[in-house]
Amino acid sequence: MELKVSKLNSEAVLPNYSYYDDAGFDLYTVVDFVLKPCQRFQIKTGIAIQIPTGHVGLIWDKSGLSHKAGIKTLGGVIDSGYRGEVRVGVVNLSDETYIFKKGEKVGQMIIQKKENCEIIEVEKLEEAERGSRGFGSSGK
């Protein structure tokens, strides 16, 4: 599959896979910024991506940022019809300020096939073993 990427900023880093078998390709910031505890920010990547029709781009955390620094991605669904700049929403869940430097990895994107569902209103849903038991219903 080809993925067309356009640089909107001359300093943008093209997305790339760190390892051949990686599911997601890395996204990079084109700005320096400071993210304080509990603060949210939309990180500019300086790129636009043409996701093939029938697919979606899903933005996920970088495991090092999330596990070591408490940086969590927000939102993260990029539709195939979107041609604007890819931005990565983040929140700092730690009690430490985190400093991002231009060119640093800020998230990763996975391209997946998607299905459109026909939405049908019904009076009642079919019964299931689990039923409406929610969080903690399995005892864990």
pTM score of the predicted model: 0.89
Question: The domain that contains 67 carries what CATH number?
Answer: 2.70.40.10
Residue 136 resides in a domain:
no
Burial pattern 51-74, b for ≥16 Cβ within 10 A else e, equals: beeebbbbbbbbeebbeeebbbbe
Q: Based on the structure, what is the number of domains in the chain?
A: 1
Residue 125 resides in a domain:
no
pLDDT in tens, the chain (140 residues): 999 999 999 999 999 999 999 999 999 999 999 999 999 999 999 999 999 999 999 999 999 999 999 999 999 999 999 999 999 999 999 999 999 999 999 999 999 999 999 999 999 999 998 888 887 777 76
